[in-house]
Structure 1
């Protein structure tokens, strides 16, 4: 039977289950000296981790299913914590984006005011608005790139140390930290793109608002 929401299924024989149990608890348990009391198992991974409970319930309704284990009670708390952390993170990201755009806009505004005489002369000799705007947009882009260096450095150092300290304790567990690569490259690339976007957008909006010569 096909169960919706399943990403992958791995079959494990009862012999493999016994080997894993002996590996975890040691040979001193005497498990290898008796008949194998275990059952074969299927390790199922949901396409979306948030659907783990629903997938487990669907599997439990199948015929010939002896028992379904998915960390009941713990996984609900984990997803609740992750959802709360995600919402808090989104609020913080929004606040940081607003702050960054505000600072960049003010920086560009000061630059425009300092060069207002030059801009006025450029307009008088026929320079278009875009010709005047482009240097400020490029300046905003560079400000965004330079501003992204600090968070990229902090994220790299923090996650590297977290991975080095925590990951050894998570080996063999249900949840593991993402590998350093390509995760750090993806996150740092996203931060860099966000810095460039914020710099260009902030400078563009500032020029659009204050370039009236």
Structure 2
């Protein structure tokens, strides 16, 4: 068994060399096809990742009343004495107790004013101290984006809350965009893989047809079908392997370049491409796997008509 495998292995390498131009044509076809698959799959998968990040970035902003002391441990009473706040985190605890609430973060009006000043310029420096027109707020992350609307409605009913914002129309658009990208993106990826299978299989079939005389001679001298099929199966796998080298290298270098130049700016918006440590090995492995499997299967399927009695 092992001896036969090595015999087929050596014979497949000799066949690649002996049928030079047909091998070059088959490898070139596989290279072009897998390059398109690698590039389009990279774009589609990362677009789906960004859409998912946008969806998970939807947060609920809960604005408290102007005189709210919900986050103050102590307050000054009417006598001017500093005492413990009996309503400390009363609103916060009601929010945390709601179903589907993951995290609740306090944002003081001073922090919000500082962020606005950094973003919009020194104009907002006019509103300092008691002149600050903003409100203290709680920022809520839900366990799943689908619960944003229901949680926002529940929070709006809590006493002491003056306004709840969840993005409204923009939120609906983001959810619809994320669903559309996922649906059509993965459908396009499937169609792309089907196209790759079709093109590579047909290329392998052409190389097999061009050697039909060789197969017929082997049958006439009494070779078994399994013996005839072995070298061609390995040869198809070699074609797929060789054809995947250039696309894998291209994906490796291009993705590194795009990731390092784009991901920094995306990070400031809490977005990210798929990590290089995950994406590059997975995509390269997938390209080699697709090339080898389709090449081998293409050879076997194309030979059936020549091996019939």
In structure 1, distance between residues paired with 2:217 and 2:99: 65
Alignment partner, residue 223 of structure 2: 124
Tell me by how many angstroms 1:36 deviates.
Answer: 4.6
In structure 2, distance between residues paired with 1:41 and 1:33: 17
Q: Figure out how many residues of one structure are paired with residues of the other and give that number.
A: 205
Equivalence map 1:78-117=2 (5 Å): 78-115=174-211, 117=214
1:200 matches 2:292: yes
Q: Secondary structure in 2 aligned to 1:198?
A: helix
CA deviations over 1:155-185 (Å, ceiling 9, x no partner): 5666666557xx38x94xxx54316xx6345
**Alpha-carbon contact 2:233-2:297 (below 8 Å) kept:** no
In structure 1, distance between residues paired with 2:288 and 2:97: 46
Alignment partner, residue 12 of structure 1: 107
In structure 2, distance between residues paired with 1:183 and 1:90: 19
**Alpha-carbon contact 1:108-1:207 (below 8 Å) kept:** yes
1:140 matches 2:235: no
CA deviations over 1:49-104 (Å, ceiling 9, x no partner): 44433433343344543322121111211222232233332232222111111122
**Larger of the two Rg values belongs to structure:** 2
CA deviations over 1:23-43 (Å, ceiling 9, x no partner): 444454421153555433222
RMSD (CA atoms) = 3.7
Q: Which runs of 5+ in 2 are unaligned?
A: 1-95
Equivalence map 1:1-213=2 (5 Å): 1-29=96-124, 30-115=126-211, 117=214, 121=218, 124=223, 127=227, 133-150=233-250, 167=265, 171=268, 175-178=269-272, 183-212=275-304, 213=307
* TM-score, length basis structure 1: 0.70
In structure 2, distance between residues paired with 1:155 and 1:18: 39
Distance 1:130 1:7, change over 3 A: farther
Higher relative contact order, chain-length normalized (CA < 8 Å, sep 6+): 2
Distance 1:59 1:207, change over 3 A: farther
In structure 1, distance between residues paired with 2:106 and 2:123: 27
**Alpha-carbon contact 2:142-2:148 (below 8 Å) kept:** yes
Q: Secondary structure in 1 aligned to 2:98?
A: coil
Distance 1:109 1:51, change over 3 A: farther
Tell me by how many angstroms 1:148 deviates.
Answer: 4.4
Deviates more, 1:7-16 or 1:143-152: 143-152
Q: Which runs of 5+ in 1 are unaligned?
A: none
Distance 1:53 1:149, change over 3 A: farther
